[in-house]
């Protein structure tokens, strides 16, 4: 019998989302691509931005912009207030205990590299182990390979089964006295699989193992609670949650962040500098060297307000319905096979079409105004494990509609006729 609880699908939430009203908030959606209305189904790569975010960034640069924390003039004080308010907004959004546990970074990739170099590298010795999974994005593989090369530690990998779920019993068996860190994704960017993160963290902590969660795909789709999850580190990006690119978050437990050394040196992260020795600023500034992405943080704050204004439970319910409709609709296409059939999935559908390369499918779809992603999705080991070289991926957001899924299915049928 498995030690792990059954994974359940996301609930369907009523009342339905006012999608047409929401679409009016996203100006980029109101355009023609190759003579067809845009159907943007590449949200797993990056989501589009509502007017509220665009206007917040515009207002920052038009009225308030100056460098933060370093000036006593009015513009600097206004920028600093907005920047630090954004930090507190993120804290509330993910229910972190302290504002200083929120570190502004460029994105998920930088957050993971920060943990690899500042937390893991000083800790690791020859023979120690870092555990990851087959379903990781390259950003949660390569930083750990680098730190293993630097320290003599070993990388251990949790397999996935044929439907795209983690082998949780194998995961449990890999946790041992040599394990120093478990790094895994909350939601697979290829399969949409939602991993039972809370239960995994509990088991890892029983072995004294710290846990980093890659939340890049989770933060647009799930309500997050760091205090309930109990993870040691959680990383995500603004651009996947309707915010700007170039801004992201590393959440870390305060006691860990206080203990580990800075990731980068420079301005802002120091307390005092001399040629003999430098001392470092308190959290969170210790990890925020140089001028930050001020407008990006303000835009991310506006994105959180926008999400909260709609309600994550309603967004999740709408996307769950889209996932169900897309899965049923695409399954009816002869020769099409959906990759990833986990019991718990987010709104991502990857598929292959017999005899046709995914890149060719994406090209034909683009000619019809339908934006999807094709390739290995920065997850080459997972694609190889599933016996593929690439997939086509449609990923849905709050502004997508069943009509766009119908257009996707029609576009795939057209690709079959043109390319078969």
Q: Are residues 125 and 269 in the same domain?
A: yes
Based on the structure, what is the number of domains in the chain?
2
Residue 224 and residue 355 in one domain: no
188 lies in the same domain as 283: yes
Q: What pLDDT is attached to residue 393?
A: 98
Q: Are residues 206 and 273 in the same domain?
A: yes
Domain co-membership, 192 together with 316: no
Which of 200, 199, 194 lies closest to 215 in space, CA to CA? Answer: 194
Residues 144 and 225 in one domain: yes
- In this prediction, residues 59-85 reach a mean pLDDT of 95
Question: What is the reported pLDDT for 7?
Answer: 38
| C-alpha distance across the termini of the chain, in Å | 46
Residue 151 lies in a domain: yes
pLDDT for 395 equals 98
Residue 92: give its domain's CATH number. Answer: 3.40.640.10
Above 80 in pLDDT, residue 25?
Answer: yes
For residue 337, what are the domain limits?
19-40+312-419
Omega cis (within 30) before 291: no
In the prediction, which pLDDT does 340 show?
96
378 is a catalytic site residue: yes
Query: Phi and psi of 36, rounded to 5°?
Result: -125, 150
- Whether residue 16 is predicted with pLDDT greater than 90 in this model: the reply is no
- Counted residue by residue, the chain has a size of 420
Dihedral sign (CA 408, 412, 413, 417): positive
* Cβ neighbours around 50 below 10 Å, total: 27
User: Which value, in Å, is the radius of gyration of the alpha carbons in the chain?
Assistant: 22
Q: What is the DSSP string of 185-213?
A: ESB-TTT-BB--HHHHHHHHHHTT-EEEE
b/e burial code for range 149-182 (CB count within 10 A of at least 16 → b): eebebeebbbebeeebbbbbeebbebbeebbbbb
Is the distance from CB of 379 to CB of 341 less than 8 angstroms? no
d(C-alpha 156, C-alpha 298), whole Å: 39
Residues 120 and 217 in one domain: yes
The model's pLDDT over 138-193, given as tens digits with 9 standing for 90+, comes to: 999 999 999 999 999 999 999 999 999 999 999 999 999 999 999 999 999 999 99
Chain segment 273-316, per-residue pLDDT in tens: 999 999 999 999 999 999 999 999 999 999 999 999 999 999 99
- Give the integer Cα–Cα distance in Å for 52 and 273: 41
Kindly report the average pLDDT of the chain as a whole number: 95
Both 373 and 339 in a single domain? yes
Residues 128 and 228 in one domain: yes
Residue 45, in any domain of the structure: no
Question: Are 140 and 272 within one domain?
Answer: yes
CATH number for the domain spanning 387: value is: 3.90.1150.10
């Amino acid at each position: 019998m498995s030690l792990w609880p059954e994974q359940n699908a996301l609930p369907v939430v009523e009342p339905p989302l006012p999608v047409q009203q929401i679409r009016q908030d996203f100006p980029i959606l109101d355009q023609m691509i190759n003579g067809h209305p845009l159907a943007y189904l590449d949200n797993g790569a990056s989501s589009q931005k509502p007017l509220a975010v665009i206007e917040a960034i515009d207002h920052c640069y038009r009225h308030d912009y100056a460098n933060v924390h370093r000036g006593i003039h009015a513009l600097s004080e206004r920028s600093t207030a907005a920047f630090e308010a954004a930090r507190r907004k993120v804290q509330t959004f993910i229910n972190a205990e302290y504002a200083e546990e929120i570190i502004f970074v460029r994105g998920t990739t930088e957050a993971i590299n920060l943990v690899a170099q500042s937390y893991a590298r000083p800790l690791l010795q020859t023979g120690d182990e870092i555990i990851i999974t087959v379903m990781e994005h390259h950003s949660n593989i390569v930083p750990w390979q680098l730190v293993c090369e630097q320290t003599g530690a070993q990388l251990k990998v949790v397999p996935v089964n044929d439907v795209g779920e983690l082998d949780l019993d194998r995961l449990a068996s890999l946790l041992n006295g040599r394990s120093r860190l478990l790094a895994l994704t909350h939601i697979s960017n290829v399969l949409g699989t939602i991993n039972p993160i809370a239960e995994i963290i509990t088991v890892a902590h029983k072995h004294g193992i710290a846990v980093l969660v890659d939340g890049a795909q989770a933060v647009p789709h799930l309500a997050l609670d760091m205090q309930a999850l109990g993870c040691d580190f959680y990383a995500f990006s603004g651009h996947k949650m309707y915010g700007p690119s170039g801004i992201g978050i590393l959440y870390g437990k305060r006691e860990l962040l206080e203990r580990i050394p800075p990731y980068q040196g420079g301005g802002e992260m120091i307390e005092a500098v001399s040629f003999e020795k430098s001392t470092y600023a308190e959290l969170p500034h210790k990890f925020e060297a140089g001028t930050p992405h001020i407008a990006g943080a303000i835009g991310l704050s506006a994105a959180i307000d926008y999400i909260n204004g709609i309600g994550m439970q309603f967004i999740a319910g709408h996307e769950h319905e889209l996932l169900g409709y897309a899965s049923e609709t695409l399954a009816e296409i002869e020769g099409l096979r959906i990759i990833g059939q986990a019991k718990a999935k987010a709104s991502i559908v990857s598929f292959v079409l017999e005899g046709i390369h995914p890149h060719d499918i994406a090209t034909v779809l683009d000619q019809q105004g339908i934006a999807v992603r094709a390739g290995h999705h920065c997850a080459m080991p997972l694609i190889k494990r599933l016996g593929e070289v690439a997939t086509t991926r449609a990923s849905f957001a709050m502004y997508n509609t069943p009509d766009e899924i119908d257009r996707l299915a029609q576009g795939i049928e057209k690709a079959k006729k043109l390319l078969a």
